[in-house]
């Protein structure tokens, strides 16, 4: 059974770097042409897609965060990671990781949806 688990510090100092890891069990992050994504949710607000890494290692980032975000993968540990630099209070949120695999074939490309999510980890930004 596929499971994703986020881990990392729950408290980050303003202007420092937020680092989180998503450990995947039950599937290989290099198989199945999946994207592996990071999504966050500030308190009381909606979901914000941060970025994704394709199984091949290609990355895609939300344009509004691109200058501060890096997503990487470690196939030997079967996990992928998120770094957000120069954090402020606006980066405080629940951070989720999710698998985004291809499903049926569509007219131009496969249909993808985020079918398995981690439970989320809360990050607070404070000195």
Partner 1 sequence: DIQMTQSPSSLSASVGDRVTITCRASQNINNYLNWYQQKPGKAPKVLIYAASSLQSGVPSRFSGSGSGTDFTLTISSLQPEDFATYYCQQSYSAFRSFGGGTKVEIK
Residues forming contacts to partner 1 in the complex (CB under 8 A) are 35, 37, 39, 46-49, 52, 54, 60-63, 96, 98, 100, 103-104, 106-108, 111-115, 117-120
The C-alpha atoms of residue 35 and residue 93 are separated, in whole angstroms, by 22
Please say which residue, 32 or 111, places its beta carbon nearer to partner 1.
111
Give the nearest distance from C-beta 1 to partner 1 in angstroms: 14
Alpha-carbon distance of 17 to 64, in angstroms, equals: 17
| Residue 7 CB, nearest approach to partner 1 (Å) | 15
Calculate ∠ Cα 91-10-57, nearest 5°: 70
């Amino acid at each position: 059974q596929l499971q994703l688990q986020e881990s990392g510090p729950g408290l980050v100092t303003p202007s420092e770097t937020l680092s989180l890891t998503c450990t995947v069990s039950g599937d290989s992050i290099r198989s199945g042409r999946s994207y592996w994504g990071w999504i966050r949710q500030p308190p009381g607000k909606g979901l914000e897609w941060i970025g994704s890494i394709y199984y091949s290692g290609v990355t895609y980032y939300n344009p509004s965060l691109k200058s501060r975000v890096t997503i990487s993968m470690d196939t030997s540990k079967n996990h992928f990671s998120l770094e957000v630099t120069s954090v402020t209070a606006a980066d405080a949120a629940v951070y989720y990781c999710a698998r985004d695999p291809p499903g049926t074939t569509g007219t131009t490309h496969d249909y993808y949806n985020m079918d398995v999510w981690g439970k989320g980890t809360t990050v607070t930004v404070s000195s």
